[in-house]
């Protein structure tokens, strides 16, 4: 096993009336791209704030590069955390943001930052406060990529970004990551868009980890089967059904099985129609499992 860049153990964060993070443990390894996914308000940002030492846990342990990140300059300068709606001082221009970033991040690549500025059409001299919503997101993306920080976290960096700019971001990320491997964490709701980039997926729901798996393992581990209700019911007997939708005399059921696509083959042999399940559909099904499944 390679070195853990992030290791959290039994992490909890409670506020007066809400337990935002409830006994979360996971590792993130060196030089991998992680999807850190889940619905709104499930605790993702709270966890990322603890990893980046912006928030203390109520209990549990956080280690980044093997050390506690709190007041630890050696750890913190190797983390770049790009979050939605990042604020900058009122008088800062885009150039000021890049100048400051160049002093913070040891691996900063000024030439690459300039190249990205051109591609994202960012006006260097403009006051950041006067940028459009999408341009502000582009500034975060330029900083995140050009920082080449060993741990780079993008927390929903896309607000207002058009589809072309998002594609440019994904293409740059994969290309630059291939040349300069580092650990990248993408927290986003646009799962289908980023799924090709992700090597490992951690899904949070209601303050807990509900899935922690290699993307490769997830491909083919679930499939949707459709057919007459009795046939589908017989097939899903004893299997983990994560979504069930009856229509007329038919049922469509999404079932999780072993890795490697065996479940799909098995369903086809049973004479059922099958379709693959995208990562987004898998996560949607998993995070609404309680309500949907018990109907059948």
Ligand X SMILES: Nc1ncnc2c1ncn2[C@@H]1O[C@H](COP(=O)(O)OP(=O)(O)OP(=O)(O)O)[C@@H](O)[C@H]1O
Task: Report, in Å, the least distance between residue 90 CB and ligand X.
Answer: 25
Q: Does 44 bind ligand X (CB under 6 A)?
A: yes
- Span near ligand X by CB under 6 A; candidates 24-32, 40-48, 57-65, 171-179: 40-48
Instruction: Give the H/E segment covering residue 94.
Output: helix 94-104
Residue from the set 8, 28, 42, 82 that interacts with ligand X by CB under 6 A: 42
188 binds ligand X (CB under 6 A): no
Looking at the Cβ atoms of 18 and 262, the one nearer to ligand X is 18
CB of 96 to ligand X, least distance (A): 27
Nearer Cβ to ligand X, position 13 or 244? 13
Cα separation of 87 and 92, whole Å? 10
Query: Quick one: 13 or 148, whose CB is closer to ligand X?
Result: 13
Q: Cα separation of 77 and 91, whole Å? A: 24
Q: Among 79, 177, 87, which residue's Cα sits nearest to residue 140?
A: 87
- Among 20, 185, 186, 279, interactor with ligand X by CB under 6 A: 20
Out of 40, 103, 269, 294, the residue judged to bind ligand X by CB under 6 A = 40
Interface pick for ligand X out of 26, 28, 38, 65 (rule CB under 6 A): 38
- Stretch of 14-22, 124-132, 222-230, 269-277 contacting ligand X, by CB under 6 A: 14-22
CB of 130 to ligand X, least distance (A): 26
CB of 196 to ligand X, least distance (A): 21
| Interface segment toward ligand X; rule CB under 6 A; list 12-20, 60-68, 161-169, 259-267 | 12-20
Distance set, CA 124 to CA 7, 113, 127, 287 (Å)? 38, 11, 9, 42
Burial track 160-190 (b if 16+ CB lie within 10 A, e otherwise)? ebeeebbebbeebbeebbeeeebbbbbbbee
- Beta-bridge partners for 59: 12
43 binds ligand X (CB under 6 A): yes
Per-residue exposure over 225-243, b if at least 16 CB sit within 10 Å of its own CB, e if not: bbbeeebbeebbeeeebbb
Q: Which is nearer to ligand X, 43 or 257 (CB)?
A: 43
Q: If binding is defined by CB under 6 A, does position 83 make contact with ligand X?
A: no
- Which residues contact residue 219 at a Cβ distance below 8 angstroms, ignoring those fewer than 6 apart? 259, 261
- Residues that bind ligand X in the complex, under the rule CB under 6 A: 15, 18, 20, 38, 40-46
């Amino acid at each position: 096993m390679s070195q853990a860049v992030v290791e959290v153990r039994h992490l909890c964060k409670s506020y007066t009336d809400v337990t935002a993070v409830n006994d979360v443990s996971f590792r993130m390894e060196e030089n991998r791209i992680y999807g850190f996914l889940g619905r709104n308000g499930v605790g993702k940002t709270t966890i990322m704030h603890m990893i980046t030492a912006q928030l203390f846990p109520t209990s549990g342990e956080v280690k980044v590069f093997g050390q506690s990140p709190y007041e630890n300059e050696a750890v913190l300068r190797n983390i770049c955390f790009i979050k939605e709606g990042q604020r900058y001082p009122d008088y800062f221009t885009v150039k000021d943001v890049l100048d400051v970033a160049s002093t913070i991040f040891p691996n900063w690549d000024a030439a690459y930052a300039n190249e990205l500025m051109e591609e994202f059409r960012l006006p260097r001299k403009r006051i950041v406060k006067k940028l459009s919503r999408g341009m502000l997101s582009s500034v975060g993306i330029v900083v995140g990529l050009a920082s080449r920080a060993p741990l780079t976290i993008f927390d929903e960096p896309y607000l207002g970004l058009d589809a072309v700019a998002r594609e440019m971001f994904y293409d740059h990320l994969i290309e630059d990551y291939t040349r300069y491997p580092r650990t990248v964490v993408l927290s986003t709701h646009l799962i289908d868009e980023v799924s090709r980039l992700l090597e490992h997926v951690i899904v949070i729901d209601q303050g807990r980890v509900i899935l922690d798996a290699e993307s490769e393992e997830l491909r083919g581990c679930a499939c949707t089967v459709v057919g007459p209700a009795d046939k589908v019911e017989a097939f899903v007997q004893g299997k983990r059904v994560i979504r069930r939708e009856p229509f007329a005399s038919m049922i469509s059921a999404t079932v999780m099985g072993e890795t490697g696509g065996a479940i799909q083959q098995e369903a086809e042999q049973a004479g059922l129609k099958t379709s693959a399940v995208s990562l987004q559909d898998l996560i949607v099904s998993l995070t609404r499992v309680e309500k949907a499944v018990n109907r059948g």
